[in-house]
């Protein structure tokens, strides 16, 4: 089956900076694919190349087997999305804006306006001027605009960045709905938790390079076995943990105890603690943050990598 996106060896340079450095990506039909990396990793530049908005210096990208550089706009049939923030006329209502977009798109786009407004949950506010919209509503309207093209593939550049918690929740719910409707989605993000919530496959990018590509659950599995523990007596519990079979890397801080171990060893440890009269306040499997994963993959310190800090959600 033809991949929704197949990018091979994409390179984009700006002077001394290699914004995108030999990126290979394969997004299959039906994937909700996370393109995950810190600020400046090259996410927006990659999406621009995929959408045919800028020309790569090297490499090529095919969308459903068609190369936008060779075939022009025809290659973008069934593909929609926006990079950075969508743009609308603030003095017009959401509906008028969509009518304007539909007129440009042509075909039967205008007939999809009601459904698109409904999908993004803006039906009730469709006659309000976009000027009064929150950032989240504008982002959702951007998706409504994309849906007018009846896409099979949607590319979204950091769709939740800058949104408040309710805006993020609504946007994520919308992406879930679109995925359930069978749309293939590529979304960029700097939030591990967001990608975990929405995506089944992921590429982690840093400084223009892909350092991991694959199934998200396989990536998460590599981080399994780390726990945070709080007890009624952390000092003694840490001593017991250090002696316990199958438990390693025990550290104690004000936040409690952290250690590594498999599920069997952890079960034994809880029994030993109980026998010592120590109660459990919390035992939480720790999911690695993007930052931890990222540094583990690049095997360096933040300073050595010269990267900006990431934002674990």
Ligand X SMILES: Nc1ncnc2c1ncn2[C@@H]1O[C@H](COP(=O)(O)OP(=O)(O)OP(=O)(O)O)[C@@H](O)[C@H]1O
**Residues 6 or more apart whose Cβ sits within 8 Å of residue 174:** 119, 120, 121, 140, 143
**Residues 6 or more apart whose Cβ sits within 8 Å of residue 124:** none
Task: Show the site string, 152-191: x = touches ligand X by CB under 6 A, - = not.
Answer: --------------------------------------x-
- Count of residues that bind ligand X according to CB under 6 A: 12
Smaller CB distance to ligand X: residue 13 or 152? Answer: 13
Interaction between residue 287 and ligand X (CB under 6 A)? no
Q: Are 118 and 44 in contact (CB under 8 A)?
A: no
Smaller CB distance to ligand X: residue 233 or 305? Answer: 305
200 forms bridges with which residues in the sheet?
A: none
Smaller CB distance to ligand X: residue 2 or 308? Answer: 308
Shortest CB 271 distance to ligand X, Å: 47
Pairwise CA distance, residues 298 & 301, whole Å = 9
Q: How far is CA 22 from the centre of its chain?
A: 20
Query: Which of 3, 8, 11, 17 touches ligand X (CB under 6 A)?
Result: 17
| Interacting residues with ligand X between 28 and 57 (CB under 6 A) | 37, 39-45
The per-residue DSSP string of 69-119 comes to HHHGGGGGTTEEEESSS----TTSBHHHHHHHHHHHH-TTGGGGHHHHHHH
Smaller CB distance to ligand X: residue 35 or 295? Answer: 35
| Interacting residues with ligand X between 184 and 223 (CB under 6 A) | 190
258 forms bridges with which residues in the sheet?
A: 228, 251
| Interacting residues with ligand X between 83 and 122 (CB under 6 A) | none
Smaller CB distance to ligand X: residue 204 or 269? Answer: 204
- The residues of the shown chain that bind ligand X, judged by CB under 6 A, are 14, 17, 19, 37, 39-45, 190
């Amino acid at each position: 089956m033809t991949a929704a996106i197949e990018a091979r060896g994409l390179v984009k340079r700006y002077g001394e900076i290699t914004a995108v450095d030999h990126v290979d990506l394969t997004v299959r039909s039906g994937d909700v694919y996370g393109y995950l990396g810190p600020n400046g990793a090259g996410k927006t530049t990659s999406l621009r190349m995929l959408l045919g908005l800028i020309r790569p210096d090297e490499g090529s990208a095919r969308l459903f087997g068609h190369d936008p550089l060779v075939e022009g706009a025809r290659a973008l049939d069934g593909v929609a999305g926006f990079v950075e923030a969508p743009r609308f006329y603030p003095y017009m209502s959401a509906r008028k804006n969509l009518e304007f977009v539909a007129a440009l798109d042509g075909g039967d786009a205008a007939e999809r306006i009601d459904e698109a407004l409904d999908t993004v949950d803006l039906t009730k506010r469709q006659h309000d001027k976009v000027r009064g919209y929150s950032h989240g509503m504008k982002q959702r309207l951007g998706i409504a605009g994309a849906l007018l093209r009846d896409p099979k593939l949607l590319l979204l550049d950091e769709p939740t960045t800058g949104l408040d918690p309710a805006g993020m929740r609504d946007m994520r719910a919308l992406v879930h709905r679109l995925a359930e409707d069978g749309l293939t989605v590529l979304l960029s993000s700097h939030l591990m938790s967001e990608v975990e919530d929405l995506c089944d496959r992921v590429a982690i990018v840093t400084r223009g390079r892909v350092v991991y590509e694959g199934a998200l659950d396989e990536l998460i599995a590599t981080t399994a076995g780390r726990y945070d523990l709080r007890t009624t007596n952390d000092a003694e519990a840490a001593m017991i943990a250090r002696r316990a079979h199958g438990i390693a890397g025990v550290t104690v801080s004000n936040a409690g105890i952290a250690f590594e171990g498999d599920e069997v060893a952890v079960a034994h440890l809880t029994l030993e603690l109980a026998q010592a009269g120590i109660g459990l306040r919390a035992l939480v499997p720790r999911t690695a943050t993007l930052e931890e994963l990222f540094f583990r993959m690049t095997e360096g310190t933040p300073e050595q990598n010269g990267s900006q800090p990431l934002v674990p959600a």
